[in-house]
Amino acid sequence: MTDVSDTFATRSASCPPTWPDALCESARLCRYEPNTYVFKRGQRVESVYQIQTGQVLLRRDEAQGESITLQTAGPGDFLAEASLFSSRYHCDAFSGSASELLAFSAKTLLACLQHDSGFAIDWIRLLSQQLVRSRARAERLTLRSPRERVLHCLRLECDDQGRFKPPGTLMQWAATLGVAHETLYRTLAQLEHDGTIVRDGFEIREVSHRGEGSLK
């Protein structure tokens, strides 16, 4: 069962100040324990979510009993944006770890998109960036070695100064890379040892990187 006991109104830092007041005031910060549902397939669409911390899996159970993971979403990603024009959710959203999600009223979001062209452009920009990240992640999973996957991520998802901050914990980042967290720790240590990367707290920078290829 979804944990909604610690749900409260908030104007989150993840809600940009240029967004409509009505939308930001509709936002609720929802906390979910590991292995709980955010929403279920067929449930009435009431909210669109943005992940603040943790990880959420979008899954669909098939008639043969198989469960297909459609997306593994992490901090910054939106959920249920594809259901904004539907009455029911198309799949299950399942928290893979302890997670915090910002829930926006779907009804309010749709009204803001219809009446505020500036916000509509901001929304399109955000979803376009998310689409680029999703495609990059799909490409990354075709790479064979953990080293290649880490470097691919650093090069495509760094900021304009070539710095990358993993989404969530290293364990959560390992899951998005499709590697065991122990493998990620060893790979980062080796890359740092041979001078390929520099680590400064939670930030990572590839030494040879000059900012090209960033998703920004």
Same-domain status, 97 and 165: no
Residue where a domain stops, chosen among 116, 134, 152: 134
Q: What is the pLDDT of residues 98-122, one digit of tens each?
A: 899 999 999 999 999 999 999 999 9
Tell me if 214 is assigned to some domain: no
Residues 171, 102, single domain; the answer is: no
Q: Are residues 93 and 154 in the same domain?
A: no
Q: Compute and round to an integer the Cα radius of gyration of the chain.
A: 18
Q: Determine the structural domain holding residue 65 and report its residue range.
A: 21-134
Picking from 99, 134, 169, the residue at the C-terminal end of a domain is 134
Q: Is residue 216 part of a domain?
A: no
Considering the domain architecture, whether residues 177 and 78 belong to the same structural domain is answered as no
Classify each residue of 85-119 as buried b or exposed e, where b means 16 or more C-beta atoms within 10 Å of its C-beta: eeeebebbbbbbbebbbbbbbbebbeebbeebeeb
The yes-or-no verdict on residue 10 having pLDDT over 60 is no
177: CATH: 1.10.10.10
d(CA 67, CA 94): 12
For residue 80, give the 3-state DSSP assignment: coil
Determine, yes or no, domain membership for 9: no
Domain end marker among 109, 134, 159: 134
- Select from 18, 36, 200 the least CA-distant residue to 125: 18
Do 116 and 151 lie in one domain? The reply is no
147 and 111 together in one domain: no
* pLDDT at 121 (0 to 100): 94
126 and 101 inside one domain: yes
Q: pLDDT, tens digit, for every residue of 53-90?
A: 888 988 887 666 677 777 788 888 899 998 999 999 99
Q: Is the pLDDT score of 191 beyond 80?
A: yes
CA gap 26, 10 in Å, rounded: 8
Same-domain status, 61 and 126: yes
In a domain, 11, yes or no: no
Q: What is the CATH number of the domain that holds 101?
A: 2.60.120.10
Q: CB 174: neighbour CB atoms within 10 A? A: 22
* Contact call for residues 152 and 140 (beta carbons, < 8 A): yes
How would residue 176 be classed by pLDDT, with cut points 50, 70 and 90? Answer: confident
The pLDDT tens digits of the residues spanning 198-214 come to 998 889 999 865 444 55
Q: How many domains are contained in the chain?
A: 2
Asked if the structure places residue 165 within a domain, the reply is: yes
pTM beyond 0.85: no
Higher pLDDT, 75 or 216: 75
Domain membership of residue 163 (yes or no) is: yes
Among 15, 49, 53, 50, CA closest to 166: 53
